[in-house]
Amino acid sequence: MAKDPVRVLVTGAAGQIGYALVPMIARGVMLGTDQPVILHMLDIPPAAEALNGVKMELVDAAFPLLKGVVATTDVVEACTGVNIAVMVGGFPRKEGMERKDVMTKNVSIYKSQASALEKHAAAGCKVLVVANPANTNALILKEFAPSIPEKNITCLTRLDHNRALGQISERLSVPVCDVKNVIIWGNHSSSQYPDVNHATVATPSGDKPVRELVKDDFITTVQQRGAAIIKARKLSSALSAASSACDHIRDWVLGTTEGTWVSMGVYSDGSYNVPAGLIYSFPVTCQNGEWKIVQGLPIDEFSRKKLDLTAEELSEEKALAYSCLN
């Protein structure tokens, strides 16, 4: 029997990530090729005409799984009945800026959209915040939507996770699908800690650790990859961000592969001595639509410092966000 359609909200849908993301969702990349979807696209009034153009293209592409499109500048209409919300709307950073430099503009958006989601989304709606500063926007959304369970509010660090897999694949000249279990700890910012201590590469004689093989500037390359893309494109990453957003939701909803974990920005419960109450990127596995932090990984002294450093930045961002909202 055909499945009922799932309603997926994409905010900022007229922007560059939105333009890359909505066809992926309509093709089944996010929720599976047997899952019909209804797309809800939100943008602001100055982008209304462009948003309508995106809607026209979605109609023209005749995606078999796409059962409807809502394109609107009305946040209530956009949020009504949605099962999944991908929050991309906001302002991207430009060359020379840190992600927290877009804080003032973006956190106030997340405060106001929190209440619309809380009041109008479907029960159990899963939220992914992509717009920067992603962890702190997600935290603001969580705090101003207190009735949405904290387990349902996450932010995107899967792009950093995928970048780390890509770097290992390039450095070791192995297919990216053979590499697994990197970890992005902490903030989606240059303080993040891309950790290869537990990563492996598949070989004919079993999985082998990559720790000793990946050295040099691996950590800074991953930390600075967003800035490198902005320098090269004069625009921030879009196709890789959209693809990683699909990976994040797909694994959350459909589950991670046995023996593999992924990185997600989730509400900290104090695991690994990360202060509770931050949205922090951890290694997680997913099953039955729920994520769970991978427990018990040994953390060496070098890693401990890195985990703490990025947690400190997130605590500072949280304070800054609140000062912007006052």
Ligand X SMILES: NC(=O)c1ccc[n+]([C@@H]2O[C@H](COP(=O)([O-])OP(=O)(O)OC[C@H]3O[C@@H](n4cnc5c(N)ncnc54)[C@H](O)[C@@H]3O)[C@@H](O)[C@H]2O)c1
- Binding-site residue ranges: 12-18, 43, 93, 99, 106, 130-132, 163
Residue 188 falls in the annotated catalytic set: yes
Whole-number Å distance between alpha carbons of 225 and 131? 16
Whole-number Å distance between alpha carbons of 9 and 17? 13
Name residues contacting ligand LMR, limited to 104-143 (CB under 6 A): 132
Residue sitting closest to ligand LMR (CB):
226
Exposure of 46 by Cβ count < 10 A (0-12 exposed, 13-18 middle, 19+ buried)?
exposed
Which of ligand LMR, ligand X, none does residue 254 bind (CB under 5 to 8 Å by kind)?
none
Does 99 bind ligand LMR (CB under 6 A)? Our answer is: yes
Does 93 bind ligand LMR (CB under 6 A)? Our answer is: yes
Neighbours of 213 (CB within 10 A): 15
Strand duo 206-209 + 200-203: pairing = antiparallel
Identify the residue among 92, 186, 194, 283 touching ligand X (CB under 6 A).
92
Binding mask of the shown chain, residues 19 to 48, with x at each position contacting ligand X by CB under 6 A: -----------------------xxx--x-
Give start and end residues of each alpha helix (H) in the chain: 16-26, 48-61, 75-79, 103-120, 134-143, 158-172, 218-223, 225-233, 239-254, 301-325
Using CB under 6 A, which of the segments 10-18, 23-31, 290-298, 306-314 binds ligand X?
A: 10-18
Which of ligand LMR, ligand X, none does residue 163 bind (CB under 5 to 8 Å by kind)?
none
Q: Write down the catalytic residue from 40, 161, 188, 248.
A: 188
| Residue list, annotated binding site for substrate | 93, 99, 132, 163
Examine residue 133 and say whether the peptide bond preceding it is cis (omega within 30 degrees of 0): yes
Contacts 24+ apart (CB under 8 A), 97-104: 98/189, 98/190, 99/132, 99/133, 99/134, 99/188, 99/189, 99/226, 100/133, 100/136, 100/189, 100/317, 100/320, 102/132, 102/133, 103/133, 103/136, 103/317, 103/320, 103/321, 103/324, 104/324
Does 242 bind ligand X (CB under 6 A)? Our answer is: no
Identify the residue among 152, 162, 187, 237 touching ligand LMR (CB under 6 A).
237
Does 89 bind ligand X (CB under 6 A)? Our answer is: yes
Q: Least distance in Å: CB of 27 to ligand X?
A: 19
Strand duo 126-129 + 153-155: pairing = parallel
Name residues contacting ligand X, limited to 189-208 (CB under 6 A): none
Does 236 bind ligand LMR (CB under 6 A)? Our answer is: yes
Whole-number Å distance between alpha carbons of 314 and 62? 43
Does 12 bind ligand X (CB under 6 A)? Our answer is: yes
Does 134 bind ligand X (CB under 6 A)? Our answer is: yes
Interacting residues toward ligand LMR by CB under 6 A: 92-93, 99, 132, 159, 226-227, 229, 236-237
Interacting residues toward ligand X by CB under 6 A: 11-12, 14-18, 42-44, 47, 88-93, 102, 109, 130-132, 134, 156, 159, 188, 236-238, 241
Which residues have a catalytic role annotated?
Answer: 188
